Protein backbone atom coordinates (compact mmCIF):
# COMPACT_ATOMS: atom_id res chain seq x y z
CA UNK A 1 0.00 0.00 0.00
CA UNK A 2 1.43 3.38 -0.97
CA UNK A 3 1.64 6.51 1.13
CA UNK A 4 -0.08 9.61 -0.26
CA UNK A 5 0.45 13.22 0.82
CA UNK A 6 -2.45 15.66 1.08
CA UNK A 7 -2.63 19.40 1.83
CA UNK A 8 -5.42 21.99 2.26
CA UNK A 9 -6.54 23.32 -1.11
CA UNK A 10 -6.06 27.04 -0.55
CA UNK A 11 -8.81 27.41 2.06
CA UNK A 12 -8.20 27.90 5.76
CA UNK A 13 -7.84 24.61 7.54
CA UNK A 14 -6.64 23.08 10.76
CA UNK A 15 -2.97 22.53 11.74
CA UNK A 16 -3.32 18.95 10.47
CA UNK A 17 -4.07 19.90 6.85
CA UNK A 18 -2.25 23.24 6.53
CA UNK A 19 1.03 21.35 6.39
CA UNK A 20 1.18 18.28 4.13
CA UNK A 21 0.02 15.14 5.93
CA UNK A 22 0.66 11.54 4.90
CA UNK A 23 -1.98 8.85 4.60
CA UNK A 24 -1.50 5.13 3.92
CA UNK A 25 -4.13 4.05 1.39
CA UNK A 26 -4.82 1.08 -0.86
CA UNK A 27 -4.60 1.68 -4.60
CA UNK A 28 -8.32 0.90 -4.82
CA UNK A 29 -9.27 3.49 -2.14
CA UNK A 30 -10.86 6.71 -3.42
CA UNK A 31 -8.78 9.88 -3.36
CA UNK A 32 -9.33 11.80 -0.11
CA UNK A 33 -11.19 15.06 -0.76
CA UNK A 34 -11.73 16.34 2.81
CA UNK A 35 -9.44 16.66 5.83
CA UNK A 36 -10.24 13.89 8.33
CA UNK A 37 -9.79 16.38 11.21
CA UNK A 38 -11.77 19.46 10.13
CA UNK A 39 -13.48 18.67 6.81
CA UNK A 40 -11.56 21.28 4.77
CA UNK A 41 -11.14 20.52 1.06
CA UNK A 42 -7.74 18.87 0.44
CA UNK A 43 -5.81 17.82 -2.64
CA UNK A 44 -3.26 15.09 -3.18
CA UNK A 45 0.32 16.32 -3.59
CA UNK A 46 2.69 14.59 -5.99
CA UNK A 47 5.97 14.00 -4.20
CA UNK A 48 9.16 12.34 -5.38
CA UNK A 49 9.70 8.69 -4.43
CA UNK A 50 12.27 7.74 -1.85
CA UNK A 51 15.15 6.04 -3.65
CA UNK A 52 18.43 4.57 -2.53
CA UNK A 53 21.26 5.01 -4.98
CA UNK A 54 24.59 3.31 -5.01
CA UNK A 55 25.63 0.31 -3.00
CA UNK A 56 27.01 2.02 0.09
CA UNK A 57 24.92 -0.18 2.41
CA UNK A 58 26.06 -3.41 0.75
CA UNK A 59 29.53 -3.47 2.29
CA UNK A 60 30.50 -7.01 3.35
CA UNK A 61 31.06 -6.01 6.98
CA UNK A 62 27.56 -4.48 7.24
CA UNK A 63 25.98 -7.50 5.54
CA UNK A 64 27.65 -9.88 8.02
CA UNK A 65 26.49 -7.76 10.97
CA UNK A 66 22.93 -7.98 9.66
CA UNK A 67 23.18 -11.78 9.31
CA UNK A 68 23.28 -11.95 5.50
CA UNK A 69 25.60 -13.92 3.24
CA UNK A 70 26.89 -12.40 -0.01
CA UNK A 71 28.41 -14.20 -2.99
CA UNK A 72 30.04 -12.85 -6.15
CA UNK A 73 30.29 -14.62 -9.48
CA UNK A 74 33.82 -15.81 -10.32
CA UNK A 75 33.03 -18.04 -13.27
CA UNK A 76 30.27 -19.77 -15.17
CA UNK A 77 28.03 -21.21 -12.45
CA UNK A 78 30.65 -20.61 -9.73
CA UNK A 79 30.18 -18.14 -6.87
CA UNK A 80 32.62 -17.15 -4.11
CA UNK A 81 31.49 -16.05 -0.64
CA UNK A 82 32.43 -12.43 0.17
CA UNK A 83 30.56 -12.04 3.47
CA UNK A 84 28.61 -14.03 6.03
CA UNK A 85 28.28 -17.69 6.93
CA UNK A 86 28.00 -20.55 4.49
CA UNK A 87 30.15 -22.48 2.04
CA UNK A 88 33.17 -20.66 0.63
CA UNK A 89 32.31 -21.54 -2.97
CA UNK A 90 29.04 -22.54 -4.64
CA UNK A 91 29.26 -24.43 -7.93
CA UNK A 92 26.58 -25.62 -10.34
CA UNK A 93 28.48 -28.91 -10.81
Phi first, then psi, for residue 35 (nearest 5°) are -65, 130
- The burial of 88, by beta-carbon neighbours within 10 Å (0-12 exposed, 13-18 middle, 19 or more buried), is given as exposed
Res 13: pLDDT: 83
Indicate yes or no: pTM above 0.85: no
Instruction: Let me know: does 68 contact 86? Beta carbons within 8 Å.
Output: no
Compute the mean pLDDT over every residue in the chain, rounded to the nearest whole number.
84
Domain locations in the chain as residue ranges: 3-45, 59-91
Res 42: pLDDT: 93
% of the chain exceeding 90 in pLDDT: 12
Per-residue confidence band for 52, with pLDDT thresholds at 50, 70 and 90:
low
Per-residue confidence band for 79, with pLDDT thresholds at 50, 70 and 90:
very high
pLDDT tens profile 3-41: 889 999 877 888 888 888 988 888 888 989 998 889 899
Instruction: Let me know: does 73 contact 87? Beta carbons within 8 Å.
Output: no
- The burial of 35, by beta-carbon neighbours within 10 Å (0-12 exposed, 13-18 middle, 19 or more buried), is given as buried
Amino acid sequence: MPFYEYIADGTPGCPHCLAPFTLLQRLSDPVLDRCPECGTVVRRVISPPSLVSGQSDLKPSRLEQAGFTQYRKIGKGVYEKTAGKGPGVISAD
